[in-house]
Structure 1
Amino acid sequence: MPVRRRRSTALAAAVATAAALGATVLVTAGATTATAAEVPLKDYELTWGIKQTYRNYVGMFGTFTTSGGATQAAGNGAFTFVDGTGTYDTTGHTVDLAFKGGLVSKSAAHGFEITLTDVRFDSKAGEITADIKKVDTSAGAPKTTEGDDVPLATVAVTREMKDMATTLTAEAGEYLGSGSYAGAAGDPLTVVQKTPPSTPPASPSPSPSQTRTQEPSPSASQTAPTERPETESPAPTSTKTTESSPPASASEAATKGEVADGTLGWGVKQTFRAYVVGPIAKGRVTVSGGATQAAGNGAFTFKDATGTYDTDADKLTAAFQGAVNFKGHESGGTYGLDLTLSNLKATLDGGSGKLSADVNSLGTLTKGVVLADLKAKSADLTAEKDVITADDVAATLTAAGAKAFGDFYPAGTALDTVDLSVALSDGAQLPDGGSSGTTGGTGGTGGSAGGSTGGTGGTASTIGGTGTTTGGSTGGGSLATTGSDIPGPALAGAAGVAVAIGAGAVYATRRRRTQQ
């Protein structure tokens, strides 16, 4: 059980009060004496995500809940604790701050509930601490472990106190459930003053004899962490179908008419592809109906486009043949993840548009789901040699698309970019390939996932992920090793789908196998 290092709240209050009254000598934690150089501080905020892979793991199988003013950033982001108060030492140029707010991470599937309160930052000690209570129900009867002022991470303190590097401690590994966290890099830490003082304390440079990076006075220039701007919604797409016109002659290109052929290249999301064939889902990706997939678990190409175009109005509507199926989390012949996208359709109107598809999840078909908002680099649709090309079109997940992925990826998430090429006449030459997005996987084998590499046409393309087992449980409510070889979002994407569609039995089976 970790050492309890409760720092008296009454003592902390006395420090701040005495400093305000001009006390000359105080006994404090970590120092033998303090002087009237200590200045009281208030209205600070601390933002820290602990570790991204930890958030991804909890996000797959459980939830985070904040309280007491603490918040979590959108998209399973970092946590912010508020109303920080404490003292600033003008002699040593250090701060000692305590923050309000609580955080509970809970997973019923793996039998743990971890509560963090009384988060503190001490720049002199170069550490972040918290009071922690862990309830472990993985073995049946609840087992509770508590610790006060548990050191969670050491901090490489900087003058600005922004994006400071952190290193997780052995105690953090013990409470968070993975011994591999000890000594691992944590998320960056930022401490800022929400309401800067009108007269900030002086901040002389630390003396050359100081070996640790010392923290200066929080200055008036410090501001609260900048909120991530919301994704700008593209302009509405026109639903009016352009009337087709007679095809152009060989010597004259038409500005309006029917699409003769075309391809759409899209990888959906690289991390999602990596997850499906990785050591957790142990699944496969299969293309059919004329669609192809690039080697190395790459992006997909959908072909045989039909639709209409109007280059004067910069409008394009094109539907494509082919389908892609993602399948994983097999248990007794039943799959917890079985998702098919087909009948893809892209529209552009003045550079903005939509990408839709028919979505079949575990046998339930929903037609015409708008998966993504599209934003081309240019609003102009110009034909060259009777071919309209729009490469690297940004694709942003919609609310309907988020639902199709089990609501794990939040609306606004960037998906792989889209490449569009459409021929305006039968003799026009389309570019080769037409695939988009980051190709990839790492090409090795992941866990026990098998299958052959490569694969195009209508065959399955099952590529091993990385060799590191990520997520899962080793028993006792602990996390398994969460290595950095597999991207965090890759761990979360398909698992979010599987959890959302009720694949708890799959995970339970996998957990038992891991324990064995």
Structure 2
Amino acid sequence: MPVRRRRSTALAAAVATATTLGATALAALGGATTASAAEAPLADYELTWGIKQSYRTYVGMFGSFTASEGAGQAPGSGAFTFTDGTGTYDTTAHTVDLAFRGRLVSASAAHHFEVTLTDLRFDSGAGEITADVTTVDTSGATPTKKGDDVPLAKVAVTRTMTDMATTLTTEAGEYLGSDGYAGAAGDPLTVVKKTPPTTEPTTGPTPGPTGEPTTGEPSKEPTTDPEPTDPQTTPATREPSPTASTSAAPSAPATTAPATTAPTKGEIADGTLGWGVKESFRAYVVGTVAKGRVTVSGGATQSAGNGAFTFKDATGTYDTDADKLTATFKGAVNFKGHESGGSYGLDLTLSNLKATLDGGTGTLSADVNSLGTQTKGVVLADLEAKSGDLKAAQDVVTVDDVAATLTAAGAKAFGDFYRAGTALDTVDLSVALSDDARLPDGGGSDTSGGTSGGSGTAGGSTGGGTGTAGGTGSTVGGTGTTTGGSLGGGSLASTGSDIPGPALGAAAGAAVVVGAGAVYAARRRRTQGRSAE
């Protein structure tokens, strides 16, 4: 259950009522006692908020997030979800006050910080998100900082409580490690009621919203409470699905069953591999630090929004009885950035990708060309599937969400930009075992040879904007500062990124000030000879 709030919810409701009715009305109503009587209990709510995309990108580049105890994170370094929200609904002021379960830790061993959020709360009357926050400098250079009910963001509350605009507070900047976050636009916030699945079929056909907030005051809440949107849309989307599934189910096997069945071992007829390399790396390349671009060629495609890549036309062998698979894919992707005088400090091409699986584990390798030096067959990542079984369905073997972990050789290929053992984007693999088999859609939307990203504006956009001139993708940091600016409070001079300064060690902070591009280029030059081995 959520931690009990330290200030009285009855008092908070009374304050909200006073704002609406006036102080004299509050006195006439008998103060907090009357406000408490106007509250109805709420339960089973869920809150989704990403804090700020540039903050997630920064942490993902140099560390990781760990969500537990009821919290979760969407794939691809997405937004965070906090569950089991309980609290009260003020039927007079029409406000909600909810506390959520979940623990979120952002940490980086390289930059010596660990930030923990718990007891996340949403108060629509106050229009804010609060949390208990603990910030630890793991190097021991600064003392641990703790705060209860820290206001992290102001919220532009709407009736539906979906996609509400947020603005980060000064306190958010203090605890997250950068004054630049203060006043910056945060990610949108959504608060919805999660109806238990067992009750949905019975409430779906009936006017579900009237019973939404349980036993409080059904006649008032459907028209005033923000929550009816979710119950209305949930049954609507579910009612057509049984009809669609029952009608489609018989026909699908009928058309595909006559197809010839492939043997249990042989040569792969076709296949696709979906992989984003690493989301934070893609964002870095097109962001305001590298000011670069991502280009696909040779039949590879990239999803919109600087998304993941799809490599096609697989060749190789399979053995479903032995659960073994070796597949090589066509297509290439090039990462280019840190341009100076027509040359680039970052120029990395991955091509001829090859995936192997044996009982659920394997490797992902590629030909690597970095700054003109090519090395073939570099094992970039160790792979681990959720299951060791390779099962064919309609002559297609599909293995999704395969965990990929950077190897020591892969770290060298990236110029030691990431350490060995770093989690890369997951791999989606589909191979056709016969010419008649039909592969799922690869998902790439850019044409072969297309580019993503472009040159960003110096200094970055205000508040850590996510766009770059000439392309999509998020920046590594946030508010940029002018060249020669101060490092005080965590703002970084001349880099165009808003990397939390207080959390950085002295050496790491100096390296960032000099410029991530210079560091990367220097590392690549030092390792050029070694990577060719």
The two structures have a TM-score, normalised by structure 1, of: 0.52
- Structure with the bigger percentage of helix: 2
CA–CA distance in structure 2, aligned partners of residues 219 and 306 of structure 1: 46
Residue by residue over 1:77-96, the C-alpha shift from the partner in whole angstroms, topping out at 9 and shown as x without a partner, is 22222222221111111111
Contact 1:201/1:219 (CA < 8 Å) preserved in 2? no
State the 1:121 CA deviation.
0.8
Residue by residue over 1:253-281, the C-alpha shift from the partner in whole angstroms, topping out at 9 and shown as x without a partner, is xxxxxxxxxxx9x9988986674476646
Identity across the alignment (%):
56
Which residue number corresponds to residue 419 of structure 2?
none
CA–CA distance in structure 2, aligned partners of residues 81 and 150 of structure 1: 17
Contact 1:358/1:366 (CA < 8 Å) preserved in 2? yes
Counting only pairs closer than 5 Å after superposition, residues 405-424 of structure 1 correspond to structure 2 as 407-412=423-428, 417=444
Residue by residue over 1:120-144, the C-alpha shift from the partner in whole angstroms, topping out at 9 and shown as x without a partner, is 1111111111111212346x43412
Asked whether 1:124 is paired with 2:125, we answer yes
Secondary structure of the corresponding residue to residue 231 of structure 2: coil
State the 1:39 CA deviation.
1.2
Contact 1:344/1:357 (CA < 8 Å) preserved in 2? yes
Give the partner amino acid of 2:171.
E
Secondary structure of the corresponding residue to residue 76 of structure 1: coil
Query: Against the structure 1 CA distance between its residues 277 and 52, is the aligned structure 2 distance closer, same or farther, given a 3 Å change threshold?
Result: closer
**Which of 197, 214, 231 lines up with 1:221 in the alignment?**
231
Give the partner amino acid of 2:217.
P
State the 1:221 CA deviation.
1.6
State the 1:38 CA deviation.
1.2
CA RMSD across the alignment: 6.4
Contact 2:283/2:475 (CA < 8 Å) preserved in 1? no
Contact 1:115/1:133 (CA < 8 Å) preserved in 2? yes
Contact 2:106/2:114 (CA < 8 Å) preserved in 1? yes
Asked whether 1:87 is paired with 2:74, we answer no
| Structure 1 unaligned regions, length at least 5 | 1-5, 17-23, 208-213, 227-234, 244-263, 308-317, 347-355, 372-394, 420-434, 448-462, 492-503
Alignment: residue pair count? 375
Query: Against the structure 1 CA distance between its residues 418 and 70, is the aligned structure 2 distance closer, same or farther, given a 3 Å change threshold?
Result: closer
**Which of 397, 402, 407 lines up with 1:399 in the alignment?**
402
CA–CA distance in structure 2, aligned partners of residues 505 and 416 of structure 1: 43
Secondary structure of the corresponding residue to residue 159 of structure 1: coil
Query: Against the structure 1 CA distance between its residues 323 and 170, is the aligned structure 2 distance closer, same or farther, given a 3 Å change threshold?
Result: closer
Residue by residue over 1:4-47, the C-alpha shift from the partner in whole angstroms, topping out at 9 and shown as x without a partner, is xx99548449999xxxxxxx97765xxx9615221122222222
Query: Against the structure 1 CA distance between its residues 86 and 510, is the aligned structure 2 distance closer, same or farther, given a 3 Å change threshold?
Result: same
Contact 1:164/1:188 (CA < 8 Å) preserved in 2? yes
Which residue number corresponds to residue 476 of structure 2?
470
State the 1:439 CA deviation.
2.2
Residue by residue over 1:400-439, the C-alpha shift from the partner in whole angstroms, topping out at 9 and shown as x without a partner, is 77868864323359988389xxxxxxxxxxxxxxx52642
Contact 1:279/1:446 (CA < 8 Å) preserved in 2? yes
Query: Against the structure 1 CA distance between its residues 267 and 124, is the aligned structure 2 distance closer, same or farther, given a 3 Å change threshold?
Result: closer
Which residue number corresponds to residue 425 of structure 1?
none
Query: Against the structure 1 CA distance between its residues 345 and 464, is the aligned structure 2 distance closer, same or farther, given a 3 Å change threshold?
Result: same
Counting only pairs closer than 5 Å after superposition, residues 87-236 of structure 1 correspond to structure 2 as 87-137=88-138, 140-195=140-195, 196-199=212-215, 201-202=217-218, 204=220, 216=226, 221=231
Query: Against the structure 1 CA distance between its residues 88 and 137, is the aligned structure 2 distance closer, same or farther, given a 3 Å change threshold?
Result: same
The two structures have a TM-score, normalised by structure 2, of: 0.50
Counting only pairs closer than 5 Å after superposition, residues 406-445 of structure 1 correspond to structure 2 as 407-412=423-428, 417=444, 436=448, 438-443=450-455
State the 1:194 CA deviation.
2.5
CA–CA distance in structure 1, aligned partners of residues 314 and 213 of structure 2: 64
Query: Against the structure 1 CA distance between its residues 436 and 267, is the aligned structure 2 distance closer, same or farther, given a 3 Å change threshold?
Result: farther
Give the partner amino acid of 2:72.
T
Contact 1:325/1:341 (CA < 8 Å) preserved in 2? yes
CA–CA distance in structure 2, aligned partners of residues 306 and 336 of structure 1: 32
Residue by residue over 1:73-114, the C-alpha shift from the partner in whole angstroms, topping out at 9 and shown as x without a partner, is 233222222222221111111111112222211112222211
Query: Against the structure 1 CA distance between its residues 506 and 201, is the aligned structure 2 distance closer, same or farther, given a 3 Å change threshold?
Result: same
Query: Against the structure 1 CA distance between its residues 444 and 398, is the aligned structure 2 distance closer, same or farther, given a 3 Å change threshold?
Result: same
| Structure 2 unaligned regions, length at least 5 | 14-27, 196-211, 238-255, 316-326, 356-363, 384-397, 411-421, 430-440, 460-468, 481-485, 500-504, 517-533
Which residue number corresponds to residue 388 of structure 2?
none
Residue by residue over 1:461-501, the C-alpha shift from the partner in whole angstroms, topping out at 9 and shown as x without a partner, is xx9999x9734999789475999x99x9xx9xxxxxxxxxx
Secondary structure of the corresponding residue to residue 144 of structure 2: strand
Secondary structure of the corresponding residue to residue 158 of structure 2: coil
Query: Against the structure 1 CA distance between its residues 218 and 126, is the aligned structure 2 distance closer, same or farther, given a 3 Å change threshold?
Result: farther
Residue by residue over 1:285-331, the C-alpha shift from the partner in whole angstroms, topping out at 9 and shown as x without a partner, is 8999x9999xxx9x99x9xx999xxxxxxxxxx9999976658899x
State the 1:151 CA deviation.
1.2
Counting only pairs closer than 5 Å after superposition, residues 224-373 of structure 1 correspond to structure 2 as 275-276=284-285, 280=289, 326=335, 340-343=349-352, 358-360=366-368, 365-366=377-378
State the 1:201 CA deviation.
3.0
State the 1:339 CA deviation.
5.7
- Please say which of residues 101-110 and 474-483 is displaced more in the overlay: 474-483
Which residue number corresponds to residue 246 of structure 1?
none
- Please say which of residues 86-95 and 407-416 is displaced more in the overlay: 407-416
Contact 2:290/2:337 (CA < 8 Å) preserved in 1? yes
Secondary structure of the corresponding residue to residue 411 of structure 1: strand
Give the partner amino acid of 1:167.
T
CA–CA distance in structure 2, aligned partners of residues 134 and 194 of structure 1: 31
CA–CA distance in structure 2, aligned partners of residues 511 and 415 of structure 1: 37
CA–CA distance in structure 2, aligned partners of residues 306 and 192 of structure 1: 43
Give the partner amino acid of 2:133.
I
CA–CA distance in structure 2, aligned partners of residues 36 and 143 of structure 1: 44
Contact 1:401/1:411 (CA < 8 Å) preserved in 2? yes
